[in-house]
Structures are given as C-alpha cells and as structure tokens.
Structure 1
Amino acid sequence: MRFRFRRATVACTALAAALTLAAAGCSSAASHDSTTSGASGSSAPGKGSKAVGFIFVGPKDDYGYNQAAYEGSQEVKKAFPDLQVITAENVPEDDNAARVMDSMIQKGAKIIFATSYGHLDAALKVAAEHPDVVVVQQGNVIANGKVTANVGTYFGTVYEPVYLAGIAAGKATKTNKLGYVYAFPIPQTIANIDAFELGAKSVNPAAKTYTVNTSNWCDPAKQAQATQSLLSQGVDVITQHQDCTATVIKATEAAGAYTVGYHADASSLAPKGWLTGSQWAWGPLYTDIVKTAEAGTFTGSKYNANYRVGYKNGENPFIQSPFGPSVTQETKDAIAAAKTKISAADGSPFVGPVTDQDGKVRIPAGTVPDYATLDTIDYFVDGVVGQLPKS
C-alpha cells in the first residue's frame, strides 16, 4: 500500500478542529540526535530528501507514546540507510515545534513527522512555508480551509485493540471495578475509554470502568495519585491513556492489581499483573509514507487530509501487546474471536445499540459507525463511572 491519503475515512469536523489539546505531554527543551547522510535535489514534495525529521513531545524512553514513535523512526533509519534520520525529543506544542522542524529542513529534510496531537498548528505553518516539504502530523485532523497538497495526518483506530484489552480486563476482575487514568477528553481518549468498557462488558456485564482525569499527558505525581484513588475504590484492573506509562504500571503492580498497558509493551514493569495492552507498531506505516514521498507520489490532503487505518483494512499500526502469565486460554480465544468479529465489514466495538451514561441511545441497534463518526465521539457509554470535564 502506498500512503497517498486516498483511503482516509476521517471527516474534518468543527469539534475535532477545536480540540487541539496536546496528544502528548510537554516539556520545554528539545534534544536532537541523527544518523548519517544521502540523496539529492527535489521536485515533487518530499522527493529527493537528504533527511527525514521526527519531533517528539516527550522523551524517547517513556515506556509509552514517544518511545513507540521513536522506535518507528529507527525502523525508517534501517529501511533507508542513505537518508539521515533526525530526531528531536521534548519538543513543546507551540512555536518551538515550528522552529525545530525548520532546523531539520535546513539540514536537508523534505519529509517531517510531527508526532503529537498538539503539534498540528506548527505542522500546518511549516507546510505552508515549505511547499516542497511533506509534513505529516500524528493523530489529529485537518480542518477544511487548511488543506495543501504537502500536508496530511495519519493515525490508527486505537479503540479496536483497546476493546480487545477490555475483554481481558473483564475476564480478570474479581471486583467488577476497572480503572482508567486519562489526560484530556479528546475524541481519541473518549473512544478508548468507551471501547474498553464495551469490551469488558461483552464478557462480564457487571464490569464498570472508573475514570480519573489528570489534565496532563505525563505528570508522575498526578498519575500516582490517580492510581491510588482507583485502588482505594476497590478497582483491581487499571489501564490508562497517558504518554509515559511507568508510574501507573509500577503502582498497580505494587498493589497486587492487574495492569492493561497502552502505547508500548511495558510488560517488564509488571511481571505478575500484566494482562495485555495496546501498542504502536509505527515502522511499516512510517516507512510507507517515506517511500511515497521519496517517489514523488505523495498526494497529501489534495484528495483527503486525514488518513486512518484499522482492522477493516488490515493495516492498523496499533496492535495488541503480548499476554501476561495469568491470562487463560479461554480469554485468549475470546479475544481472537472478538478481533475477527470487529474486523468484518459489519463489525465494530460500537455496533448498536450503544447508550450513553444517561441511557440515551447514541448508536441505534444494528448500526455500524464508521471511523469518521467515532473520531468525533464526545460521550461516555453506559458503564463508565465519572463525568467528562466541562470545557
């Protein structure tokens, strides 16, 4: 598959455009590393690049979001030994991001990956100022009116493997209380929380998911407090939507509770309580984007700005993590069957009827919502405990 954004399924809505919160935690200083050289001049956007640039909002060893993105960049490095791969960690979601991307362009980069949700504005600015450079942003959507041929977004349907992980949680819990530590109420996060609860409920109707909001993508102190709050309520399985995941996992393991991971394989941090998780495998998709740009056939948002891949087209970069020692064969079989079911044309974790916390039917019986619809979700489903913060 060549990455041309032609098969995108995400609609550009006012809600998604407005929610330009950070999809990863911030820090003020940017650090760089790079490999060595290659290539020549350009014509089409991205063609003839000497380098490929990646900016990360956090550290590359966070056992989470940024580590997964960094590992993907290193697969690009292996796939294109003649291209310099330039990386920058701890790049804030402000004008500094544009400055760092500009510096990469000065070093010969004509392909830039801006890997955080909050890097969108900077990515659009850089793309507009450098029409010969392909700029792709991870996890957001580009609103109508900001479309140019050299820019686009990409992401996986993260809630699909999260739904499967919810099945493991629903099977493992003894208290029927599951915990979810999350940062911001953006559609991606809400869809994950809802999918986790729906997965758990599919095998354990009594399961409920208790939520705690940290309003930060990576604040270990807030994460520790949130974890203890959940444990004190009798929660015995905890998952999260945080960039850095170690604090929550270690605290959960120390309390003898079960862990469901997110973003990266952190099973080494919870040798007893690890169930499974969801993790990024960005290498193939990153590599495909670079191939397309290098070939001069990148069409970006000229056709459709926002590209999503999921189980229905077999290319989801968000995959299931390894199982832990306590997961039974029965649970593994249930997860395998559920994956086959939701991967079908008429399948989804959100096949109706789906009701919200107030009992209102949000997805009618028999309806299969598409990826675009779920990328704008703004409600908690029945079974989720906790209220969405008011904007």
Structure 2
Amino acid sequence: MKRRTFLANSAMAGTALATGLAGRAMAADDPLKVGFIYVGVPGDGGWTYQHNLAKKAVEKHYGDKVKTSVIENVPEGADAERALTQLALAGNKLIFATSFGFMDPTMNVAKKFPKVNFEMCTGYKSAPNVSNYSGRFYEGRAVCGAIAGQMTKSNKIGYIASFPIPEVIRGINSAYINAKRTNPNVEIKVVWVYTWFDPAKEADAAQALINEGVDVLMQHTDSTAAMAVAKKAGIVAFGQDSDMSAFAPTPRISALIDNWAPYYIKRVGDMMNGNWKAENVWYGLKEGMVEVGEITDAVPAKVKAHALDLETKIKAGTYHTFEGPLNKQDGSVWLKKGEVADDGALAGLNFYVEGIKGKIPS
C-alpha cells in the first residue's frame, strides 16, 4: 500500500526519502516467496512426486532469489481453502495449487488476496490473478494405449480410474481408441476408485482387474501400489505421472510422465520480471509437459518402433487420437471421418466412445 505523508520541513523529507529508498532496496533483494499445495505426498512416486521435482528445479534454477514453502497431503475441499489462505498470509506471492479439486478453494482465496497470483493445475476457472495449466495427458496415453493393445495376450486391458472428470475420461478413451487401432479384439475394463492417492484401494482395484483376466494394467491414480500387484501377478503395467523406472524391466514397460519443471521455472521468472499475467495453458508432447517414458526391452522391437512413430506424429500434429470416424458409446455419431474434436469438446468430454463397456459414474 502506498502512503503519502506531508512533511513539515526538508530535513524530515530527506530522512523519509532515504528511509523509503532503503526499504525499496531491501524489498528488491528479498527472495520471491512461492507456495505449493499438494494433494498427496512427494513419496507417492507419481503425481505429487513430479510436482515436487518441479519445485526443486525452481529452487536450483533461482537459488537464493526464491524461497519456497509447501503444504502437503491436503484433502480437496475446505482443508484446501485453509491451506491456501495460510500460504497467502505467510507472504507467498505466487501459489501453485496442484490438483483439480483445489479449483474452487483457489478461486475463493484468490478473491480475498488479489495481490497474490495463483497457478491452478488442471482447472478451468479463471480470474485476473488465477492462471490454469494442464498437460494433454491423453497424448501420452495414446502412445501407451497403442503399446498395450499389442502387448495383451488376453485382449483385456485394465484401467484404474480416479474420479469421473473429463481429464480422466479423455485418458480412458484415448487409451482404448489407440489400443483398438492396433488390436481390433481388445477390451478395456475400468474400475473407479474415487481417490487420487490411496495405495490400498489402488491395489484392490488392480487385483480385481487381474481377477477379470486383464494382463496389461494402466492407471490414472498416483501411487505405485498397482504396479506391485501387477508384478506379483506376472503381468505388465505402465508408470503413471512419473517414470516409475524402479519397476523396470517388469512390470513397468513404459510410462506417462508429467514434466512441470519448465513451466514452473518460467512462471516464477515471469513474477520476478513483472511479466506474470493470467493465462490458460494446455501443453502436450510437443511442448514437453507430457512425456512418454523409456520403452523397455520387454516390448518387442516392432511394437516399440510403432509407438515411437506415433509419438513423433503427435508432436508434429499429423496424428490426433480424437479424429473421426468416432462414435459415442451408444453408437451415435460423434466425429465424422476427418473431423477432429476441438479443445472445447475435449475439455468437457463426459462420455465413453463406442466399444467401451460399463457406465461412467454420475
């Protein structure tokens, strides 16, 4: 807040001016405070682990010019609003809210702290001090799905889903479409666990899918628990959010990786340079926010070559998962031949494509 004081004489004015300049100099030398709120813990090996790697990358890049603080393992809802408020009151000028369920709490807190800027991960609501950023995870799932379709011997792929939101539904559809394009006989079986991170639930879901005969496992949850179950059962699986390469060569055969570091470094730099402004960013394989992990030798060379070629085409913009002809689950036409779904349609995607069995929970 700027204050204007009328001073009685020039001596007092000079003293005030000197004090003010010193104060501004100290403020300029102070590190930028950057806060992070995590839905899980960095030890999850997945989603939060990757966000924490990005935080460390910010610290390494800027050194003592930045000071970070974290509140982790925060449930989505009222607890998130309290945590965000705590970070704002602690003097953080930029706050990264790293889970979809933090969106409404972020909007509420942003109204109360208009001079604090917020970065909302996978959200869609905006304000002058709220940006949204997300990865086109469905692009990475396209590559993983293409591998899965060729790796299954039972023609059954299992998929552990978190919450029935467009982000997760896009991923299921993308994995299935690309698996089907490599293997017309493939099925995908989905189990909803209603959590991002709960190793016990994820393990139970994995076992339930294995009991149904799946021999390839995919997931949109954050822990490595499903991978451990897959290993015990002798089937293959894909890492989620992080490389999960500790499970290589089996059961992990590749992974969908979220790389937040370049974006975090840029946005912190924008704050320091006075160039930060609210924006909506949706980056994919081309920009490097989404990556496909190393494909192990457990994958046949021909299958690997196809996957790498598909990745190259997605980056070049010559291939799109959601290009027609594609029908909705009920058989009605969604996309005609050659028609590509636009970002608006994908952002609100709330149905399965034709061929996927089961219902999306309401």
Give distance in 2, aligned partners of 1:109 and 1:295: 16
In the alignment, structure 1 residue 279 sits paired with structure 2 residue 261: no
Cα deviations across residues 203-226 of structure 1 (Å, max 9, x unaligned)?
A: 111111111111222223322222
Q: 2:324 aligns with which of 331, 347, 352?
A: 352
Give distance in 2, aligned partners of 1:282 and 1:201: 30
Give distance in 1, aligned partners of 2:296 and 2:138: 20
User: In terms of mean alpha carbon deviation, does 287-296 or 336-345 score higher?
Assistant: 336-345
Give distance in 2, aligned partners of 1:131 and 1:203: 50
**Contact 1:250–1:270 (Cα < 8 Å) also in 2:** no
Q: 3-state DSSP class of the match of 1:278?
A: strand
Q: CA RMSD in A?
A: 1.9
Give distance in 2, aligned partners of 1:131 and 1:342: 39
Q: Could you say which residue in structure 1 is the equivalent of 2:245? A: 267
Alignment coverage as a number of residue pairs:
337
In the alignment, structure 1 residue 116 sits paired with structure 2 residue 99: yes
**Contact 2:32–2:272 (Cα < 8 Å) also in 1:** no
**Contact 2:217–2:237 (Cα < 8 Å) also in 1:** yes
Give distance in 1, aligned partners of 2:356 and 2:248: 25
Structure 2 CA distance for partners of 1:384 and 1:273, relative to 1, 3 Å: same
Q: Could you say which residue in structure 2 is the equivalent of 1:158? A: 137
Q: 2:297 aligns with which of 289, 307, 325?
A: 325
Give distance in 2, aligned partners of 1:211 and 1:49: 47
Q: 1:234 aligns with which of 198, 202, 213?
A: 213
Larger-Rg structure = 2
Q: Could you say which residue in structure 1 is the equivalent of 2:189? A: 210
Q: Could you say which residue in structure 2 is the equivalent of 1:297? A: 275
Q: 1:177 aligns with which of 138, 143, 156?
A: 156
Q: 1:253 aligns with which of 231, 235, 241?
A: 231
Q: 3-state DSSP class of the match of 1:61?
A: helix
In the alignment, structure 1 residue 98 sits paired with structure 2 residue 81: yes
**Contact 1:65–1:264 (Cα < 8 Å) also in 2:** yes
Structure 2 CA distance for partners of 1:40 and 1:152, relative to 1, 3 Å: farther
Q: Could you say which residue in structure 2 is the equivalent of 1:131? A: 114
Q: 1:51 aligns with which of 33, 38, 42?
A: 33
Cα deviations across residues 165-211 of structure 1 (Å, max 9, x unaligned)?
A: 01111111111110001111100000000100111112111111111
Shift of 1:123: 1.2
Shift of 1:40: 5.8
In the alignment, structure 1 residue 140 sits paired with structure 2 residue 123: yes
Identity of aligned residues (%): 33
Cα deviations across residues 40-67 of structure 1 (Å, max 9, x unaligned)?
A: 648xxxx976311111011111011111
Cα deviations across residues 117-157 of structure 1 (Å, max 9, x unaligned)?
A: 11112211222122221101100101xxxx43211110010
**Contact 1:64–1:262 (Cα < 8 Å) also in 2:** yes
Task: Flag the structure with higher helix content.
Answer: 2
Give distance in 1, aligned partners of 2:301 and 2:211: 30
Give distance in 1, aligned partners of 2:351 and 2:272: 41
Give distance in 1, aligned partners of 2:238 and 2:264: 26
Shift of 1:230: 1.1
**Contact 2:283–2:290 (Cα < 8 Å) also in 1:** no
**Contact 2:216–2:237 (Cα < 8 Å) also in 1:** yes
Cα deviations across residues 266-321 of structure 1 (Å, max 9, x unaligned)?
A: 13135322211101111001111111122111220xxxx5321124xx21412111
Q: Could you say which residue in structure 1 is the equivalent of 2:44? A: 62
**Contact 1:50–1:108 (Cα < 8 Å) also in 2:** no
Shift of 1:384: 2.1
Q: 1:315 aligns with which of 280, 283, 287?
A: 287
Letter aligned with residue 281 of structure 2? Y
Q: Could you say which residue in structure 1 is the equivalent of 2:55? A: 73
Q: 1:336 aligns with which of 296, 308, 316?
A: 308
Shift of 1:324: 2.1
Q: Could you say which residue in structure 1 is the equivalent of 2:69? A: 86
Give distance in 2, aligned partners of 1:269 and 1:207: 25
Larger RCO: Structure 1 or Structure 2 (Cα < 8 Å, ≥ 6 residues apart)? 1
TM-score if structure 2 supplies the norm length?
0.88
User: In terms of mean alpha carbon deviation, does 60-69 or 343-352 score higher?
Assistant: 343-352
Give distance in 2, aligned partners of 1:335 and 1:151: 37
Give distance in 1, aligned partners of 2:26 and 2:180: 55
Q: Could you say which residue in structure 1 is the equivalent of 2:9? A: none
Structure 2 CA distance for partners of 1:102 and 1:176, relative to 1, 3 Å: same
Give distance in 2, aligned partners of 1:40 and 1:162: 48
TM-score if structure 1 supplies the norm length?
0.82
Shift of 1:353: 0.8
Give distance in 2, aligned partners of 1:381 and 1:191: 10
Structure 2 CA distance for partners of 1:182 and 1:40, relative to 1, 3 Å: farther
**Contact 1:253–1:270 (Cα < 8 Å) also in 2:** no
